[in-house]
Amino acid sequence: MRQQEQRPPFKKLARELLAANYPWLSSATGLEFSVAFVKKASDAWELAGKALRAYSTERHGPTMVLAQVGMLADMWCHFAPSNS
Amino acid sequence: MLRLGCTASLGGARRSAESDLASRRARLTLRQRQRALENGGAAGSAVSDLPPLNLADLVTISNQANAVPGGYLSPNAAAFKRIFLYHSTAETGLEGRATTALFFLDGLNDLDPNEPPKLDENGLQIIPAARVAIWFTNPVCTCSASLEQLFKFFQGSVRVCGNRCKQTFLYLAIF
């Protein structure tokens, strides 16, 4: 994985998008984007799984996941945290 | 999870294992059942309990929180979080290119549909904070090419401009 030097301006784009489509919402000040480039899709899934696990461990107490998913459950269960 | 009151569907393998176990137990006499309970959990017993459920054993999970007023899953007792997982892959012309993104939306625990929205000093509705992690799978690294796809999703549309893509949407509610 390599971090790109010139990252896409997601925050700026999100702000413009909100202003154009949802003018009653405040600006996207609370949005934080992180962008990385990987060479294989499996790397992206692995990193997404790590991010989910890290997110689940940030909070205390039991965690329940409700999933609405467009693919078979056994596919996404591979990367969803199973120790929650 | 089941103990807390939610319901789940078992996956095919687990369902089959539970059915087989119930069938084996049904063949036991009362005395054999008592003996099995006394030896409960003995390794290798054909009638001992199956291991605890893992997430992979479940197909769907639901809860009755919205149907039961004052249920334990009320905002007073639980913190509701939402995570969107976006994934798309290019089908034509751009082999191996894909976009994967996770949207972590915070602050939704305070949202009550019966309450007026919170406004900032300019009278605009305050949106929840969100963290977004994006991974571009792009062997040739044409970095801006995937942006349209991602922001079509961000706008709530499933139509993708340009290349035909397989799209997958996940909605994870974590609390």
Which chain A residues are closer than 8 Å to B60 by Cβ?
67, 73
Query: How far apart (Å, rounded) are the C-alpha atoms in residues B35 and B37?
Result: 5
Q: Which residues 18-57 on chain A approach chain B with CB closer than 8 angstroms?
A: 18, 21, 24-28, 30-41, 43-45, 47-48, 51-52, 55-56
Do the chains contact at B102 and A51, CB–CB below 8 Å?
yes
Q: Place B72 in a pLDDT band, splitting at 50, 70 and 90.
A: low
Inform me whether the C-beta atom of residue B108 falls under 8 Å from chain A C-beta atoms: no
pLDDT greater than 50 at residue B52: yes
Question: What's the confidence (pLDDT) of residue B129?
Answer: 78
- What pLDDT is recorded for position B168? 45
Tell whether B42 lies on the interface with A, counting CB pairs under 8 A: no
Is pLDDT larger for residue B156 or for residue B30?
A: B30
Band of the pLDDT at B89, cuts 50, 70, 90?
confident
Q: What would the mean pLDDT of A8-18 be, rounded to a whole number?
A: 81
Does the distance separating the beta carbons of B136 and A37 come in below 8 Å?
yes
ipTM of the complex: 0.73
Among B100, B121, B151, B166, pick the best mutation site for testing chain A contact (most A Cβ within 10 A): B100
pLDDT surpassing 50 at residue A29: yes
8 Å CB contact between B155 and A21:
yes
Q: Which residues are within 8 A (CB) of A26 and not within 5 positions of it... i.e. 6 or more apart?
A: B120, B122, B124, B125, B126, B127
Q: Is the pLDDT of residue B73 over 60?
A: no
**A81 vs A67, which has greater pLDDT?**
A67
- B74 part of contact set with chain A, CB < 8 Å: no
**Any idea where the domains of chain B sit in the sequence?**
2-62, 81-174
Query: For residue A16, what pLDDT is reported?
Result: 82
CB contact (8 A) between residue A70 and residue B135 = no
Predicted pLDDT at B13: 85
Region B54-80 average pLDDT: 59
Instruction: Indicate whether A58 pLDDT > 80.
Output: no
Do the Cβ atoms of A66 and B137 come within 8 Å?
Answer: no
Residue from A81, A34, A36 nearest B81 by CA: A81
Is residue B103 a contact partner of residue B84, using CB atoms and an 8 Å limit?
yes
Closest-CA distance, A17 to chain B, in angstroms, reads 8
Q: Does B161 touch chain A (CB under 8 A)?
A: no
Give the mean pLDDT of chain A.
71
Residue A46 and residue A50: Cα distance in Å, rounded?
Answer: 6
Does the pLDDT at position B104 exceed 60?
A: yes
Domain ranges of chain A: 10-76
Q: How many CB atoms lie within 10 A of CB A26?
A: 18
Query: In this predicted structure, what is the pLDDT of residue B157?
Result: 32
pLDDT band at A15 (very low <50, low <70, confident <90, very high): confident
d(CA A71, CA A83): 21
- Which pLDDT does position B149 carry in this prediction? 45
Lowest mean pLDDT among A24-33, B108-117, B134-143, B153-162: B153-162
**Which amino acid type is present at position B164?**
R
Cross-chain Cβ contact B60/A65 below 8 Å: no
**What pLDDT is recorded for position B118?**
74
Q: How confident is residue B57, by pLDDT bands cut at 50, 70 and 90?
A: confident
Facing residue for B59 by CB, picked from A51, A73, A82: A73
Residues whose CB is less than 8 angstroms from the CB of residue B171 and which lie 6 or more positions away in sequence, other chains included: A66, A67, A68, A69, B82, B83, B84
Do residue B137 and residue A14 have CB atoms under 8 angstroms apart? Answer: no
* pLDDT score of A24: 79
Kindly report the average pLDDT of chain B as a whole number. Answer: 64
